[in-house]
Structure 1
Amino acid sequence: MLLEGKTVLITGASQGIGRAAAVECARAAANVAINYLGDEAEAESVVAEIRSLGREAIAIRSDVADPASAPAFVAAAVTAFGGVDVFVSNAGICPFHAFLDMPVAVLDRTMRVNLHGAYYMVQAAANQMVAQGRGGSIVAVSSISALVGGEYQTHYTPTKAGVHSLMQSCAIALGRHGIRCNSVLPGTIQTAINKDDLADPEKRARMAARIPLGRLGVPEDLAGPILFLASDMARYVTGAALLVDGGAFVNLQ
Structure 2
Amino acid sequence: EIEALGRKAVAIQGDVALDRDGLAAERLDLGDGADPATAKDFVSRAVEALGRVDVFVNNAGICPFHAFLDMPVETFERTMKVNLHGAYFMVQAAANQMVKQGDGGSIIAMSSISALVGGEYQTHYTPTKAGLHSLMQSVAIALGKHGIRCNSLFPGTILTDINKEDLADEGKRTYMEARIPLGRLGQPDDLVGPTVFLASDLSNYVTGASLLVDGGAYVNLQ
Q: After TM superposition, is the score higher than 0.5?
A: yes
Q: 2:103 aligns with which of 113, 125, 134?
A: 134
CA distance in 2 between partners of 1:44 and 1:61 (Å):
18
Change in Cα spacing, 1:252 to 1:87, as seen in structure 2 (3 Å) is: same
Q: Which amino acid aligns with 1:127?
A: N
Give the aligned partner of residue 8 of structure 2.
Answer: 31
Give the aligned partner of residue 134 of structure 2.
Answer: 165
Q: 1:44 touches 1:59 (CA, 8 Å); kept in 2?
A: no
Percent sequence identity is 67
The 5 A counterparts of 1:1-253 are 31-36=8-13, 37=15, 42-43=19-20, 45-46=22-23, 48=24, 50=25, 57-253=26-222
Q: 2:155 touches 2:213 (CA, 8 Å); kept in 1?
A: yes
Question: Following TM superposition, by how much is the alpha carbon of 1:91 offset from its aligned partner in structure 2, in angstroms?
Answer: 0.2
Change in Cα spacing, 1:126 to 1:227, as seen in structure 2 (3 Å) is: same
Change in Cα spacing, 1:220 to 1:135, as seen in structure 2 (3 Å) is: same
Question: Following TM superposition, by how much is the alpha carbon of 1:60 offset from its aligned partner in structure 2, in angstroms?
Answer: 3.3
Q: Once the two structures are superposed, what CA deviation does each residue of 1:123-148 show, in whole Å capped at 9, x if it has no partner? A: 00000000000100000000000000
Unaligned runs of 5+ in 1: 1-22, 51-56
Q: Which amino acid aligns with 2:11?
A: I
Tell me the TM-score normalised to structure 1 length. 0.83
Q: Once the two structures are superposed, what CA deviation does each residue of 1:43-68 show, in whole Å capped at 9, x if it has no partner? A: 4631x1x5xxxxxx443342211111
Q: Which amino acid aligns with 1:114?
A: N
SS at 2:190's partner residue? Answer: helix
Unaligned runs of 5+ in 2: none
CA distance in 2 between partners of 1:26 and 1:210 (Å):
39
Q: 2:68 touches 2:120 (CA, 8 Å); kept in 1?
A: yes
Q: Once the two structures are superposed, what CA deviation does each residue of 1:68-101 show, in whole Å capped at 9, x if it has no partner? A: 1100010001111111000000000000000000
Change in Cα spacing, 1:189 to 1:78, as seen in structure 2 (3 Å) is: same
Q: Which amino acid aligns with 1:111?
A: M
Change in Cα spacing, 1:29 to 1:205, as seen in structure 2 (3 Å) is: farther
Q: 1:189 touches 1:219 (CA, 8 Å); kept in 2?
A: yes
Change in Cα spacing, 1:95 to 1:85, as seen in structure 2 (3 Å) is: same
Tell me the TM-score normalised to structure 2 length. 0.94
Q: 1:32 touches 1:58 (CA, 8 Å); kept in 2?
A: no
Question: Runs of 4+ in structure 1 displaced over 4 angstroms?
Answer: 25-30
CA distance in 1 between partners of 2:62 and 2:92 (Å):
20
CA RMSD of superposed structures (Å): 1.8
CA distance in 2 between partners of 1:26 and 1:147 (Å):
36
Q: Which amino acid aligns with 2:78?
A: R
Q: Once the two structures are superposed, what CA deviation does each residue of 1:164-188 show, in whole Å capped at 9, x if it has no partner? A: 0000001000000000000000000
